[in-house]
Amino acid sequence: MVRGIRMEYNISVNRCVKLVLLHKSVYYYKPNKRDDTLLRMRIKEIASTRVRYGFWRVYILLRREGFMDNHKRVYRIYCEEGLNLRSKRPKRNRSALHRQPSDGNSSSLHECWSMDFVSDQLYNGSRFRALTVVDNYSRKCLAIEAGQSLKGSDVVNVMEKVSSENCTLPKRIKVDNGSEFISKVLDKWAYENQIELDFSRPGKPTDNP
């Protein structure tokens, strides 16, 4: 608009921006477009591996990894990739294709643990679940916690108990995509203790040995 008025009436930039109530710096501003390739690739990778994570969980993981981009930029890229429209519960045979099988082997004690739930029922028909924790190197069962209703906070309590008994924590814990393992309380505990939660591919229970 300013350029068109200047060409038609042959007036200075100062007079022109005053006429259209525009600040002079806005007229001379030139956008400096950043390269979002690395950020875009990482957002897509997180969304494909942690299929139940929404935008804010993805954003928190990016901040932990050192990406200092604000939430508006991250959300713009998140939407441009169509991730805001994706199903958080995709079909198993499709979501499993997004991930490669990870190496579950451990070369030393307490390097990698695995957690999973098993379920059974009592003689009266009431069902219960048990959380099992196993060291992948020694194959030793570190804990079995049984209950009718176990939540993410219960998983954290069990891990704190195992940690105090063994005086150590692993570098990595292999889990599936159950609601207890993707809970915010477990994610916060793992981050504070610098533990990587290695999620198995949906539909591939053999990823969790």
At 52 the three-state DSSP class reads: coil
DSSP 118-168: EEEE-TTS-EEEEEEEEETTT--EEEEEEESS--HHHHHHHHHHHHHHHT-
Q: What class is the 101-207 domain?
A: alpha beta
Structure token pair of residue 106: 């451990």
Average pLDDT, the chain: 82
In this structure, how many other beta carbons lie within 10 angstroms of the beta carbon of residue 134?
20
- pLDDT of amino acid 14: 80
* 46-54 mean pLDDT: 81
Closest CA to 52 of 208, 180, 189: 180
Per-residue pLDDT of 156-172, as tens digits, reads: 999 999 999 888 899 99
Q: 61 or 201: which carries more pLDDT confidence?
A: 61
Q: Quick check: 95 pLDDT over 70? A: no
Handedness of CA 208, 118, 132, 140 (dihedral sign): negative
Domain boundaries, the chain: 1-30, 37-89, 101-207
pTM: 0.62
Angle formed at CA 152 by CA 148 and CA 153, multiple of 5 degrees: 90
Walk across the sheet containing 196-199 and list its strands: 141-147, 127-135, 112-121, 172-175, 196-199
In this structure, how many other beta carbons lie within 10 angstroms of the beta carbon of residue 174?
24
Query: Across 19-23, 133-137, 177-181, which has the greatest mean pLDDT?
Result: 133-137
Query: If DSSP states are collapsed to H, E and C, what string results for 82-94?
Result: CHHHCCCCCCHHH
